[in-house]
Amino acid sequence: MSFIYGLQSATRNRIFFRFNLLTNWRKYNTVAANSLNYHQVQINHVVNKHQGLGVNQCDRLTSLPGNFHFCRTFNNKRTGCLLSIKSKEIWMITRKCTAWNDSFSRQQLLKEIAVVPTLSLLGPQNCFPIRNIRTFHTSPQFQAAPVPLLLIILKPVQKLLAIIIGRGIRKWWHALPPNKKELFKESIKKNKWKLFLSLSGLGLLFMVFYFTHLEVSPITGRSKLLLLGKEHFSLLSELEYEACMEEFKDYMLTEKDARYLSTKKVFYHLIECNKDIPEISEINWVIHVVESPDINAFVLPNGHVFVFTGLLNSVTDTHQLSFLLGHEIAHAILGHAAEKASLVHLLDLLGLIFLTMIWAISPRDSLALLGQWIQSKFQEYMFKRPYSRTLEAEADKIGLQLVAKACVDVRSSSVFWQQMEFIDGLSGSPKLPEWLSTHPSHGNRAEHLDRLIPEDRRPLNK
């Protein structure tokens, strides 16, 4: 039961062996040695010989699973073991040393222990007490929350802070005596150019910030605003994916379901035909089919596509399904989710300034609440929803080019939206104007696709 590497040309000398062990184990249970099933462990072991130091006893060093645990025992010429058998993984090196009185020339001993064979102890062992144990514990690792996650968590707090500041400014102004109000107005008039220059400087900084965060899409050549880094947005995508899997875990179709298999076949056919596009080949695509009557499908930035069975029931052939899946693929490779999130963050930042002004100049809280509601609706219908419709139209265009490369009948795309418009007309549901929706109307989408079909003969930009 002794494993030795090293000790070259040893004649009469006093030897000091120093073992430097680097181990990284998962969990420390307890000290153990009398086990019938030891595991093989790989470790590098450097032995240095130094002259002038001597040990007359047996030098045994044992490394235990867990953090760094060292146990050195000294005994004259016998072999011992460690008690309390609770851990099956252990690494032991034993070396018996006897004292030599004379000296010989200094040498450097360097050996590398690569593999310690499996130990099998069949008989009873002699045990010895543990004299010295030193344990090194590491502190648990804590990771700081990423910036996007902090922004999401602190968004309601930011609005509340803006309201408090604006309301505080209003109360401060109302509490001022008339003479101080006049002095304050005169001070503003005197320093109006300084105020103008200060506001102009802030506006210039905002413009610099905006244009330095613009990126050009390699597929469409369009400039887009990106405020979030890829690593931060990847984390948000994973969080959203986990939330979706938790929400739909009871409604997922199995991989043996015929609807899942047919959808998967169409989807991966599109991926295979467009794998020469770097934005497609670098994503690990996964398709999920959810049992739901909703006519919907969406894609996450990490390549997970969720298709509802209501959408599968609404298409008439695989050509229409190919176009809808190509539309979702286009959303992912164009980075529409990150682009839309960046716009929302920018609008929210500017909205905090206007929200503070609304609560500062409104004479009453009720009027401030009304002004806040008007501001949110104006921001929603004048910026967010039109931008969303623009992204949907762009995804239709790129998706049409993707399915054209897969030899799909692109004329089926406009036919699908004509069918959807006809179904809505039969259902008698009220038709909302397009400016109230996040998506273009069915009729406008069909006309837009009909205009794009002659352009799909050109190759897709890479």
Two structure tokens written together for 217: 């899409």
The pLDDT of residue 431 is above 70: yes
- Band (pLDDT 50/70/90 cuts) for residue 59 is very low
CA angle 144, 148, 149 (to 5 degrees): 60
Nearest to 244 by CA among 295, 288, 178: 288
Q: What is the DSSP string of 368-387?
A: HHHHHHHHHHHHIIIIIHHH
Amino acid (1-letter code) at residue 457: R
The pLDDT of residue 87 is above 90: no
Which span out of 25-29, 52-56, 203-207 was modeled with the highest average pLDDT? 203-207
Which pLDDT score is estimated for 453?
A: 85
Which pLDDT score is estimated for 457?
A: 52
Q: Of residues 232 and 211, which shows the higher confidence score?
A: 211
Nearest to 44 by CA among 65, 71, 67, 63: 63
Q: Of residues 275 and 231, which shows the higher confidence score?
A: 275
Which pLDDT score is estimated for 317?
A: 92
Catalytic residue among 112, 186, 255, 328: 328
Is residue 336 within 8 A of residue 222, CB to CB? The reply is: no
Kindly state the percentage of the chain with pLDDT values over 70: 65
**Residue 458 CB: number of other CB atoms within 10 A?**
9
Two structure tokens written together for 285: 């695509």
Which pLDDT score is estimated for 26?
A: 41
List pLDDT tens digits, range 290-318: 999 999 999 998 999 999 999 999 999 99
| The pairing of beta strand 133-136 with beta strand 304-308 | unpaired
- Band (pLDDT 50/70/90 cuts) for residue 24 is very low
Please enumerate in sequence order all residues whose Cβ is within 8 A of that of 209, keeping only pairs 6 or more positions apart, or say none.
none
Computed on alpha carbons and rounded to an integer, the radius of gyration of the chain in Å comes to: 36
Q: What is the DSSP string of 280-318?
A: HHTS--EEEEE--S---EEE-TTSEEEEEHHHHHH-SSH
List pLDDT tens digits, range 358-412: 999 999 999 999 999 999 999 999 999 999 999 999 999 999 999 999 999 999 9
d(CA 49, CA 100): 14
Q: Mean pLDDT across the stretch 77-87?
A: 39
Which pLDDT score is estimated for 119?
A: 36
Average per-residue pLDDT in the chain? Answer: 74
C-alpha dist (Å) from residue 213 to 30, 153, 324, 385, 427:
55, 23, 31, 22, 45
With b for 16 or more beta-carbon neighbours within 10 A and e for fewer, the 31-53 pattern comes to: bbbebeebeebebebebebeeee
The pLDDT of residue 11 is above 90: no
The pLDDT of residue 346 is above 60: yes
Q: Mean pLDDT across the stretch 168-197?
A: 91
> End-to-end distance of the chain based on CA atoms, in angstroms?
64
Q: Mean pLDDT across the stretch 240-245?
A: 92
Which pLDDT score is estimated for 147?
A: 53
Helix, strand or coil for residue 41?
strand
The pLDDT of residue 138 is above 90: no
C-alpha dist (Å) from residue 181 to 10, 119, 175, 184, 193:
97, 90, 10, 5, 20
**Residue 358 CB: number of other CB atoms within 10 A?**
21
Helix, strand or coil for residue 105?
coil
- Band (pLDDT 50/70/90 cuts) for residue 268 is very high
Q: Mean pLDDT across the stretch 203-213?
A: 92
Among 4-13, 206-215, 416-425, name the one with the lowest average pLDDT. Answer: 4-13
Please enumerate in sequence order all residues whose Cβ is within 8 A of that of 456, keeping only pairs 6 or more positions apart, or say none.
400, 401, 404, 410
| 238 catalytically annotated | no
Q: Mean pLDDT across the stretch 65-80?
A: 40
d(CA 149, CA 137): 31
Amino acid (1-letter code) at residue 309: T
The pLDDT of residue 23 is above 50: no
d(CA 402, CA 396): 10
The pLDDT of residue 134 is above 80: no
- List 92's β-bridge partners, or say none: 62
Nearest to 249 by CA among 307, 310, 291: 291
Which pLDDT score is estimated for 153?
A: 66
Which pLDDT score is estimated for 399?
A: 94
Q: Of residues 99 and 237, which shows the higher confidence score?
A: 237
